[in-house]
């Protein structure tokens, strides 16, 4: 089995899972769903300790000049540039979503779709999101998996270790070893991906059935087409403009894309994403250890940009509403900035769609129309999210000389 390429093992598991789901339908779900759930739980188990140790170790390295002279000031500037790139690429994703939405016109001519039961998402004010980043109880934040709070604590601890220098040399060494340990555990869990994929895809196909997708195929197709163009056309252009190898980038992120596609969780994929950025693409660990977790909370090109753009057009078409230029401006701004304002809020796709429809004055009933197929489209949305979450740190690292010389990203002769 070890001689079979990893990607082929995953593909075989996907085919087998699909076959089991189609053949046995809902009867297979009680048997295969626990397999997929166990895999997802294993990955999520790693998220909090991996984020903490990786970021704390990365920031502590600033004291050793990991980002060059004036490491602290450079770290702040890198953070700002990273967020700017988040917004720029979100704008490109929204524009692409509008274009594909108008090309396919999902929702036009449809009537009588069932309204699923949907619990409205409560969107907290921006100030509550910001205040909530600082935990009142560190242990509670870790136990509940509040990733933004974990990031904050890790930054705080790493900064303290960096400031104390030689006085905390032994503790810094322990934190560094903790980071290495978590990457080792991550590599072990990644090897279980084919088993997890089998359980997850068999459960999805068995639960939904292919016939339930028929009325919304145009919408599903629009989402998949836009995400694929964004990932395999827009992103490669940005990679080439930065003088990097497109093939090397996609080889490096392939496992993270697969994991994201089948688990439908950016945060759940975070251990694999960090492994891809640091160990495969060879980005500077001090920068990547901070930027990739930041992206996992803020960078949502699939869920927060493409999906709201196309879903808004679908809802407008279904309810016979003509979108005006003002609608498009509002939708675009909401999609570009909304992910930053709702960072860390669970269920980001539903939150972003709720926020977008409410801001644009479109019927919120549209959320219920799409709820039945959410898992199907969430796979490609999340894979798009995760690809962007690794891409932006790669571009910023290239702009600032933070890619290791041995990285396959760098063209021969320019390493």
Number of residues that this document lists for the chain: 415
Per the CB < 8 A criterion, the answer to whether 297 and 282 are in contact is: no
Residues of the chain with pLDDT under 50: none
Written as six digits, the tokens of 264 are 């439908």
Chain centroid offset of residue 20 CA: 28
pLDDT at position 166 = 82
Query: What are the domain boundaries of the chain?
Result: 6-399
Model confidence over 72-84: pLDDT tens digits? Answer: 567 778 888 998 9
Residue 363 tokens read as 């019927």
pLDDT in tens, 41-80: 888 888 888 888 888 887 777 655 555 555 556 777 888 8
Q: Which residues of 122-149 are buried (b: 16+ CB within 10 A; e: fewer)?
A: ebbeeeebeebbebeeeeebbeeebbbb
Q: What was the pLDDT predicted at 346?
A: 54
CATH-assigned architecture of domain 6-399? Orthogonal Bundle (1.10)
């Amino acid at each position: 089995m070890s001689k079979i390429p990893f990607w082929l093992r995953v593909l075989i598991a996907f085919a087998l899972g699909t076959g089991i789901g189609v053949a046995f339908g809902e009867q297979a779900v009680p048997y295969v769903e626990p397999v997929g759930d166990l895999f997802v739980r294993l990955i999520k188990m790693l998220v909090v300790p991996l984020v903490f140790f990786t970021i704390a170790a990365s920031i502590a390295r600033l004291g050793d000049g990991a980002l060059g002279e004036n490491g602290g000031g450079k770290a702040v500037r890198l953070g700002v540039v990273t967020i700017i790139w988040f917004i720029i690429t979100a704008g490109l994703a929204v524009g692409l979503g509008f274009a594909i939405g108008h090309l396919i016109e999902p929702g036009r001519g449809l009537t009588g779709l069932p309204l699923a039961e949907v619990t409205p998402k409560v969107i907290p004010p921006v100030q509550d999101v910001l205040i909530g980043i600082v935990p009142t109880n560190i242990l509670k934040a870790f136990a509940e998996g509040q990733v933004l709070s974990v990031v904050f604590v890790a930054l705080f601890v790493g900064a303290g270790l960096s400031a104390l220098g030689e006085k905390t040399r032994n503790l810094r060494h322990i934190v560094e070893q903790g980071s290495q340990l978590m990457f080792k555990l991550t590599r072990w869990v990644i090897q279980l991906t084919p088993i997890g994929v089998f359980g997850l895809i068999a459960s999805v196909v068995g639960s939904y059935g292919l016939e339930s997708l028929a009325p919304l195929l145009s919408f599903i197709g629009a989402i998949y087409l836009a995400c694929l163009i964004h990932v395999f056309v827009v992103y490669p252009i940005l990679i080439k403009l930065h003088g990097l190898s497109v093939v090397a980038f996609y080889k490096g992120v392939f496992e993270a894309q697969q994991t994201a596609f089948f688990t439908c969780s950016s945060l759940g994929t975070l251990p694999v994403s960090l492994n891809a950025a640091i160990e495969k693409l060879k980005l500077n660990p001090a920068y990547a250890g901070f930027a990739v977790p930041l992206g996992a909370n803020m960078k949502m090109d699939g869920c927060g940009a493409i999906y709201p753009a196309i879903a808004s057009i679908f809802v407008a078409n279904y309810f016979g509403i003509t979108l005006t230029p003002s609608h498009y401006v509002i939708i675009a701004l909401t999609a570009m900035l909304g992910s930053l304002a709702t960072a860390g809020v669970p269920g980001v796709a539903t939150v972003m769609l709720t926020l977008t429809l409410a801001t644009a004055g479109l019927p919120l009933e549209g959320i219920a129309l799409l709820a039945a197929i959410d898992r199907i489209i969430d796979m490609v949305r999340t894979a798009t999210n995760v690809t962007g979450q690794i891409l932006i740190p790669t571009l910023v690292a290239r702009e600032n000389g933070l890619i290791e010389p041995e990285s396959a990203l760098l063209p021969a002769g320019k390493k």
